[in-house]
Structure 1
């Protein structure tokens, strides 16, 4: 791998105009495709093969208006008045009429039909039903519904519009993300001590992100792409893109400071640091692509989209960096006498030993057992809240405070009960066409179940053998008791069929979301086992050791559970929720743990390779176990620290978004990177290796013969023919 990347780096340097031109042409072509063919983003959550999804697909054919999304117009009378007063009744009727004329609306049901008037007569609900899913609802239709509600306000009613038609805010670039990138630039300037080098690090990363996002959006007409998938791809592509460029460019500048020819220097940097980038990027891609085995389409697209962004970031690092380095030439060389030049040219590391990172590693290995116990103890303490982890998909309870959907959600919960925000649909189906009679019998039986607040009369579909029954739980959509009610209805389904002759299936948005969360929860441990097993195999091949992969896997596991513990404490328990401005606390986003495991795995392997490869190199040269840890870390600790700070700031920049899906993911990734880089890789790893001594680098001879040699460190480059390194530079 190292030899091939060496050749690629040299070729990209020599043909720099062609390489840059190809990237720009690809970007222009993808942007054109997005502009001409770009489709809508689709935020539906579907779970093929589950009872709820099968029933929802059936309703899509026999009763389309029940399978689509809905809007709710909530009317509240002034204090001392009632919505049943004549003037308010007329205003609500007018709003119903206006809403029924909105595009794409299939049915409007007022309180006169549904009886949706609160017990104190202060609040009423008008249900607006669509026959299409949220991604297909046009903005003009929702605007028409909101205007219909505003008309009623002129008659003294307070109104708000909510319902399942509202969802994720979508892709958003705001001040916080720009600040995050600005902080990343500052870290690059401090790391390199050069504005040119900092700009060189940012340009390939931004170009790679642009290509990756344009490519993902270009697929929207053919594939259901969610707004969360696009934002996650942006977040990951930007973070890893800057990091990967940093690793290669820092190696290039070190070699320039030692007098290496620019062309040969960038080729060597691509062959050595580039090998580690390809390996680290491959682990991220594999982990994210593995999300597709769970069998949930939106998660598959999310994982593959993010994996594609990482792939583009890797390609940009190993092709664009050499090409842009060709344009810069010797101008990237650190100024003689600068700290960067001193660190690069100091063979004994005396200058590097004075850095904070080098001193920290030396401190960590001074008393390795104490360090291991202290770090493990702190991380396990942080992980304790994770034992109470509950998973669910967010609803309008997580919408920004003050938004119309949040006001509607809160008002309905207060006046009607939390279950009205997430009713269940029960589909009944008979074999003999007696759907109405069987549906009435099932509805009567359902009223006796624990946790049921109300059961509406059975509604026939276009198929005479079917009916739909709306069941209102006593608790909200994300409640454990609502989940239990879904399980109870499914448990009594055989009894209901025996007494009524009808097959029963629970569906609706709430049931689908519960099934998604349950599927993800059941997949969590197997997915983690696959990822940890993969890390053991890959690191054993890279470092020819048993201790290193075992230590890396345990460290990764500690990082994940500690991060999840902090997520539970903040987003589920509500610790510091007011300080950090959280709109709602409750169950954790159901796909967050799996996303965290997949992403953090790749990043952990990234830092592990860059940090431990230097230690192994020192061990091979000196044979001194403890000294190889401190001296090996000295070469990479500054770059790993800078990479982690950049990754942290980029992820943290997405935290202020008022998006119930992105906010917890951004927090989890930012915290996970900080914990894994600083607590695990820069503290726990050196201490464990120092404690293990010579045993850290032991591998049975038979296993050493069997395992392939990935040559991530680029040792074969030293055996390459000298003529390759002396090939003259082609003028361009």
Structure 2
């Protein structure tokens, strides 16, 4: 591949794709429309199920889950919570209402079992004011849709008519909340349209990138949705794919159209300008897409299904974005023709002074005093990254969600009545070598006594043996919430306890998250090392300049450090956290920094590749490093600024999402892109290239690069 990229064969191949797409524009546009229509139709017919239930093979929590799962258990279960302000749910005045509600729930479609609130199983609070129905369903968790969950909750009409508060809980609350979207994502598109209008001039210039990225995003979302029928698909996957797909899709289109506009102004015809722009910027787009894919592929080393799923769903988004930029956009550009080439009056007025504007002055300042500019950039980045030293990883629970969400309201009601750990019980399991015949077995007694004696244990449920008697389990309610570090400590402490003739295992949602954190922590150094090496390899194959490739990777690493710092300040320290819809500081899940690293390393490389491709093109013509850096910064300054503004706007538009994890991704990715496109690209990159001089382009075994 290196030779192909280096000597122009790869660029010519990419240009041939663009030329063919422009020549057969109606075929290409029709093919994209048919593809999206087919995916949309398939999604409506087959469905796009989501499942937030995370498995983690090879862990203690997964072992407990496998041993305690019964074939006769409902496919899915959720809860319907009742709260009364006066009296008790089991007194004479309300027992009839509870019975009528149970009968209504049993008569609801897909409901198989209903267990009313009872003090015997702990589903009725001590004061009798709060309780829940456990509702079994005959649909898989992935097939539990919002309308079905709403139907179950609405069936509790007898309780609501009697003045009781009715809340969905468990799986029902999760489904009702869905992806957490608040509709604010459209503001990102509005900002993108405005920036595109200013950058490319006129409505046509703004419309083409939105149309190309819109079709690629639709293809992405429907493909990801359909994949939910084959594998467990968390709701966050489609939201994250949407964020990435919109950001890179619009950016890639902007890179290509800006180059097209420059070439048409230089006198090239529309067909020639399309072919040349795809050869130049299209090659950079393809390399940037490969870099993102490589960074995401590194997440496969974690052996965590959740991260693998998020990685390949985002990879699908990037793949469709690259394909749309190299095929659909040239076809649309050919269709727009000279109307796009001319641009609007505002665009011509803004670009007429480009040679004497900000970027010309900035390029001159940085390359004249590279040590000063580089030092200032490092100081700014160090200040932004400093809080990351206090980054505290933990577990999110329902109490971390905004107060308007169903899961938070259910959690608050249950926690107030039963205690903070009721919503996240642990399943503590004992394995034995010979079957347990009854609960009076001394091994069971020793096991239960050990569990009861642990601090932070509020209640221990009855013993439930497995069918073969070789294991038995108890439900343990912690005295602390699922997201509290003390609950994670309880999980570790229980697993370390020794009971004669019994092997102790701990499962449940909190235990699974503890196992996830441990797995991620163990694999973190390996993933970072592999992503760095593979990304440097891609850049080395592209530019065949070792110092340039290594420097680009270091620049991206620095940008990510700044994002971690802001993430810590907002979510761990609570700076401005109420402004983004949370009631206070929340822990950062263990997988978020690793996922952010892979995503940001790839996305930040987009601007690096685009800038370096332009600088290298000028270097091969002039052999003057300083001039090439100045002209490269000048030539790409406006378009990278516009692209970064769009991407930052898209990411920030997802911050109002009700899912705290999406808020973290939105804040972290927006900060990293903003820092990369300003401090790193405007100061650090040109300063280091000016200091390195011709060493930027040194290639082992060669004295100079071929022209």
Q: Using structure 1 for the length normalisation, give the TM-score.
A: 0.87
The alpha carbon displacement at 1:59 in A equals 1.7
The alpha carbon displacement at 1:108 in A equals 1.7
Q: Distance in 2 between matches of 1:471 and 1:514?
A: 16
| Residue aligning to 1:699 | 699
8 Å contact from structure 2 (residues 224, 238) kept in 1? yes
> Which one of 450, 458, 466 corresponds to residue 453 of structure 1?
458
Q: Distance in 2 between matches of 1:13 and 1:404?
A: 50
| Residue aligning to 1:509 | 509
Quick check: 1:401 aligned with 2:414?
no
Quick check: 1:360 aligned with 2:362?
yes
| Residue aligning to 2:141 | 134
The alpha carbon displacement at 1:107 in A equals 5.2
The alpha carbon displacement at 1:15 in A equals 1.3
The alpha carbon displacement at 1:442 in A equals 0.9
| Residue aligning to 2:3 | none
Cα displacement string for residues 404-426 of structure 1 (whole angstroms, at most 9, x for unaligned residues): 43223123323433222211001
| Residue aligning to 2:53 | 44
| Residue aligning to 1:205 | 213
Quick check: 1:477 aligned with 2:479?
no
2:650 match: secondary structure: helix
| Residue aligning to 1:5 | 14
> Which one of 322, 326, 329 corresponds to residue 334 of structure 2?
326
Cα displacement string for residues 373-431 of structure 1 (whole angstroms, at most 9, x for unaligned residues): 22222222222332233334533213331444322312332343322221100122333
With 327-336 and 41-50 compared, the bigger mean Cα shift is at 327-336
| Residue aligning to 1:726 | none
| Residue aligning to 2:681 | 681
| Residue aligning to 1:35 | 44
1:505 match: secondary structure: strand
The alpha carbon displacement at 1:339 in A equals 6.0
Q: Distance in 1 between matches of 2:528 and 2:135?
A: 41
Q: Distance in 2 between matches of 1:462 and 1:667?
A: 48
8 Å contact from structure 1 (residues 56, 507) kept in 2? yes
Cα–Cα, structure 1 residues 341 and 18, in superposed 2: closer, same or farther, change >3 Å?
farther
Quick check: 1:235 aligned with 2:237?
no
Q: Distance in 2 between matches of 1:318 and 1:455?
A: 61
With 237-246 and 215-224 compared, the bigger mean Cα shift is at 215-224
1:574 match: secondary structure: coil
With 8-17 and 87-96 compared, the bigger mean Cα shift is at 87-96
| Residue aligning to 2:567 | 567
Q: Distance in 1 between matches of 2:647 and 2:261?
A: 21
Cα–Cα, structure 1 residues 125 and 358, in superposed 2: closer, same or farther, change >3 Å?
farther
Cα–Cα, structure 1 residues 517 and 72, in superposed 2: closer, same or farther, change >3 Å?
farther
Q: Distance in 2 between matches of 1:173 and 1:484?
A: 33
Q: Distance in 1 between matches of 2:574 and 2:518?
A: 23
Q: Where does the alignment leave 5 or more consecutive residues of structure 2 unmatched?
A: 1-9
Quick check: 1:467 aligned with 2:472?
yes
Q: Distance in 1 between matches of 2:417 and 2:386?
A: 37
Cα–Cα, structure 1 residues 149 and 32, in superposed 2: closer, same or farther, change >3 Å?
closer
2:173 match: secondary structure: coil
Cα displacement string for residues 447-472 of structure 1 (whole angstroms, at most 9, x for unaligned residues): 12233222223123444333220112
| Residue aligning to 2:596 | 596
1:113 match: secondary structure: coil
| Residue aligning to 1:23 | 32
The alpha carbon displacement at 1:366 in A equals 4.0
Cα displacement string for residues 288-323 of structure 1 (whole angstroms, at most 9, x for unaligned residues): 233233222232222111111211111111111221
| Residue aligning to 1:426 | 428
Q: Distance in 1 between matches of 2:20 and 2:365?
A: 43
Map 1:264-275 → 2, pairs under 5 A: 264-275=272-283
Q: Distance in 1 between matches of 2:322 and 2:82?
A: 50
8 Å contact from structure 1 (residues 413, 421) kept in 2? yes
> Which one of 152, 155, 175 corresponds to residue 159 of structure 2?
152
Q: Distance in 2 between matches of 1:22 and 1:403?
A: 41
Map 1:72-221 → 2, pairs under 5 A: 73-78=81-86, 86-88=92-94, 91-92=97-98, 95-96=101-102, 98-99=104-105, 103-106=110-113, 108=115, 110-115=117-122, 118=125, 121=127, 123-126=129-132, 128=134, 130=136, 134-137=141-144, 139=146, 142-143=149-150, 145-147=152-154, 151-167=158-174, 169-171=177-179, 175-221=183-229
| Residue aligning to 1:727 | none
The alpha carbon displacement at 1:697 in A equals 2.9
Cα–Cα, structure 1 residues 402 and 341, in superposed 2: closer, same or farther, change >3 Å?
closer
| Residue aligning to 2:381 | 379
Cα–Cα, structure 1 residues 266 and 141, in superposed 2: closer, same or farther, change >3 Å?
closer
Cα–Cα, structure 1 residues 88 and 680, in superposed 2: closer, same or farther, change >3 Å?
same
| Residue aligning to 1:532 | 532
8 Å contact from structure 1 (residues 77, 122) kept in 2? no
8 Å contact from structure 1 (residues 72, 408) kept in 2? no
Q: In the comparison of the two structures, how many residue pairs are matched?
A: 692
Q: Distance in 1 between matches of 2:279 and 2:690?
A: 29
Q: Distance in 1 between matches of 2:650 and 2:383?
A: 27
Q: Distance in 2 between matches of 1:101 and 1:112?
A: 24
Q: Distance in 1 between matches of 2:291 and 2:429?
A: 44
Cα–Cα, structure 1 residues 441 and 272, in superposed 2: closer, same or farther, change >3 Å?
same
Cα–Cα, structure 1 residues 443 and 133, in superposed 2: closer, same or farther, change >3 Å?
farther
Cα displacement string for residues 250-294 of structure 1 (whole angstroms, at most 9, x for unaligned residues): 111111111112212111111111111100011112222332332
Q: Distance in 1 between matches of 2:357 and 2:476?
A: 65
Q: Distance in 2 between matches of 1:140 and 1:13?
A: 45
8 Å contact from structure 1 (residues 77, 156) kept in 2? no
Cα–Cα, structure 1 residues 64 and 376, in superposed 2: closer, same or farther, change >3 Å?
farther
The alpha carbon displacement at 1:166 in A equals 2.8
8 Å contact from structure 2 (residues 546, 699) kept in 1? yes
Q: Distance in 2 between matches of 1:520 and 1:560?
A: 18
8 Å contact from structure 2 (residues 83, 166) kept in 1? yes
The alpha carbon displacement at 1:140 in A equals 6.1
